[in-house]
């Protein structure tokens, strides 16, 4: 008995020690400092770099699989090991910002809010100037115009544009047929007419099926609104990003158009203001016939959650005021080499490999992403019935995120001025008052010019 107590104490102590001593080691790769920034261009075999990217695609395993294949092929070709991490979108910005400010940034990263990230640590920790690689990969001519501004600051390039996000209109072909609609609407007037025919109500007049829904989730209206601004021939800021333009008549008309879909034409459910409302879910439940903007990967969600709709789900270019020209905004996520890298040469090799046309076709087709590189969007993957609207939409898109360092604050969700304004207006507040307040707040943030990624 006496011994058993001693043994028990010893076992407990050993277990505690083993917890800290033997329960796994850091996965941080051993960093070889020999290849200092911009230095080593010789034999890179044996080098190890870290690469971080956000999670893409609806199939949880697809990205992991394609990245594994690409990094293995890259290692075979160059001898360089790429240790990659996939970060969930919910934590992506926080994690990357913490990592950068803490000096733990990866060598290569999939970033966003480029102008804000460049300012981290007074330019010390954010993305590096990689203009030379950008030019080597084809320069401005190789990419869609809508995404170029997002990677350039004062003529220098801080990221290679790769995935592009522009939304096409999604509609239910069976609902169209049932309502006797033969042509997809190309203007807002046609959209309203079609939506009126598609909308169904119960005996009390409540909408049971919306003819059209705004692309809203978690009561976030900004991204759908940006598309409408583009479709009305305006944008949040002017072309050289010196002035906020959404307070002009076209901007007011755009907000009024959103409200009219709900209140005047009664073709969009008022539930859009409910944080639990999600346009994609509404479509999959057949409670909406048109979604005014969905991403290219939406079909995967339809296949998973409502496979009976796969055959009847179509995509088309977003309507606008005239039926021609710009009808959406586009975003890009640049991939950058981070300033803190100690393996610049190896990082450059991986960046060029991943961002090459072949690399992008392989990756983007695996996770159903559209691409910022024109050559990639000409691949046959983008010519399927579902996908073919997206290259055309990309050609009819303008920039989504103005290239200013304070944009991450101005468009912060849910409490940034733009999102607050839109939520208040859809909730019933006066348009003019809200727009004026919002313009004032945006201008204050813009003038302060302080970067806050948190």
Interface residues toward other proteins, by CB under 8 A: 1, 5, 8-9, 12-13, 15-16, 19-20, 23-28, 52, 54-61, 64, 85-91, 94-95, 98-99, 102, 104, 217-218, 278, 280-281, 284-287, 295, 297, 300-301, 304-308
Instruction: Closer to other proteins by CB, 235 or 295: give it.
Output: 295
Instruction: Closer to other proteins by CB, 41 or 304: give it.
Output: 304
List % helix, strand, coil for the chain (3-state, nearest 5): 45, 15, 35
Minimum distance from CB of 421 to other proteins (Å)? Answer: 21
Give me Rg for the CA atoms of the chain. 25
Helix 249-263 and helix 188-198, axial crossing angle in degrees, nearest 10: 10
Minimum distance from CB of 271 to other proteins (Å)? Answer: 12
Backbone angles phi, psi at 53, to 5 degrees: -145, 160
SS3 286: coil
Minimum distance from CB of 135 to other proteins (Å)? Answer: 29
Instruction: Closer to other proteins by CB, 282 or 434: give it.
Output: 282
Return the H-helix or E-strand segment holding 117.
helix 114-118
Instruction: Closer to other proteins by CB, 61 or 415: give it.
Output: 61
Minimum distance from CB of 149 to other proteins (Å)? Answer: 22
Dihedral angle, C-alpha 421, 427, 433, 434, nearest 10 °: 0
Distance of CA 1 to the CA centre of its chain: 65
Minimum distance from CB of 310 to other proteins (Å)? Answer: 10
Minimum distance from CB of 106 to other proteins (Å)? Answer: 8
Instruction: Closer to other proteins by CB, 95 or 352: give it.
Output: 95
Instruction: Closer to other proteins by CB, 116 or 294: give it.
Output: 294
Minimum distance from CB of 305 to other proteins (Å)? Answer: 5
- Paired tokens of 326: 């710009």
Instruction: Closer to other proteins by CB, 28 or 432: give it.
Output: 28
Helix 249-263 and helix 222-231, axial crossing angle in degrees, nearest 10: 120
Instruction: Closer to other proteins by CB, 260 or 297: give it.
Output: 297
Minimum distance from CB of 110 to other proteins (Å)? Answer: 11
User: What are the residues whose beta carbons fall under 8 Å from the beta carbon of 119, sequence distance 6 or more?
Assistant: 126, 405, 451
Q: Write the DSSP assignment of 296-361 as a string of letters.
A: TTHHHHHHHH-GGGTTTEEEEPPPBSSSSS--EEEEEEEEEEBTT-S-HHHHHHHHHHHHSHHHHH
Given a contact cutoff of 8 angstroms between Cβ atoms, the answer to whether 96 and 88 are in contact is: no
């Amino acid at each position: 008995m006496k011994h058993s107590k001693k043994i028990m104490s010893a076992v407990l102590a050993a277990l505690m020690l083993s917890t800290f001593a033997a329960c796994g080691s850091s996965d941080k790769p051993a960093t070889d400092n020999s290849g200092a920034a911009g230095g080593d261009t010789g034999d890179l075999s044996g080098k190890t770099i870290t690469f971080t990217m956000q999670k893409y695609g609806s199939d949880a395993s697809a990205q992991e699989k394609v990245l594994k294949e690409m990094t293995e092929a890259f290692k075979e070709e160059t001898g360089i090991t790429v240790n990659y991490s996939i970060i969930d979108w919910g934590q992506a910005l926080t994690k990357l910002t913490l990592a950068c400010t803490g000096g733990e940034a990866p060598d290569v990263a999939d970033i966003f809010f480029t102008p804000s990230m460049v300012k981290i640590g007074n330019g010390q920790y954010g993305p590096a100037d990689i203009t030379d690689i950008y030019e080597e990969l084809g320069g401005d001519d190789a990419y869609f115009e809508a995404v170029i501004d997002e990677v350039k600051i004062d003529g220098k390039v801080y990221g290679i544009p790769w995935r592009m996000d522009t939304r096409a209109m999604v509609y239910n072909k069976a609902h169209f047929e049932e309502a006797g609609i033969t042509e997809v609407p190309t203007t807002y007037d046609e959209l309203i007419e079609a939506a009126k025919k598609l909308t169904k109500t119960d005996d009390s007049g409540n909408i049971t099926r919306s003819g059209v829904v705004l692309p809203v989730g978690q009561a976030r209206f900004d991204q759908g609104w940006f598309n409408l601004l583009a479709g009305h021939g305006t944008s949040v800021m002017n072309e050289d990003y010196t002035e906020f333009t959404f307070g002009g008549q076209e901007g007011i008309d755009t907000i009024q158009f959103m409200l009219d879909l709900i209140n005047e034409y009664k073709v969009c459910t008022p539930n859009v203001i409910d944080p639990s409302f999600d346009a994609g879910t509404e479509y999959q439940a057949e409670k909406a016939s048109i979604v005014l903007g969905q991403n290219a990967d939406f079909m995967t969600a339809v296949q998973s959650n409502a496979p009976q709709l796969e055959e009847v789900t179509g995509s088309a270019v977003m309507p606008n005021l005239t039926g021609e020209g710009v009808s959406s905004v586009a975003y890009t996520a640049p991939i950058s080499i981070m300033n803190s890298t100690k393996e610049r040469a190896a990082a450059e090799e991986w960046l060029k490999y991943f961002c090459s046309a072949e690399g992008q076709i392989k990756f983007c087709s695996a996770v159903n992403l559209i691409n910022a590189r024109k050559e990639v969007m000409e691949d046959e993957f983008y010519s399927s019935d579902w996908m073919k609207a997206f290259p055309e939409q990309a050609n009819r898109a303008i920039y989504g995120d103005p290239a200013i360092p304070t944009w991450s604050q101005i468009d912060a969700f849910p409490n940034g001025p733009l999102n607050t304004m839109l939520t208040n207006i859809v909730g019933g507040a006066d348009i003019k008052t809200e727009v004026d307040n919002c313009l004032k707040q945006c201008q204050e943030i813009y003038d302060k010019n302080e970067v806050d990624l948190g």
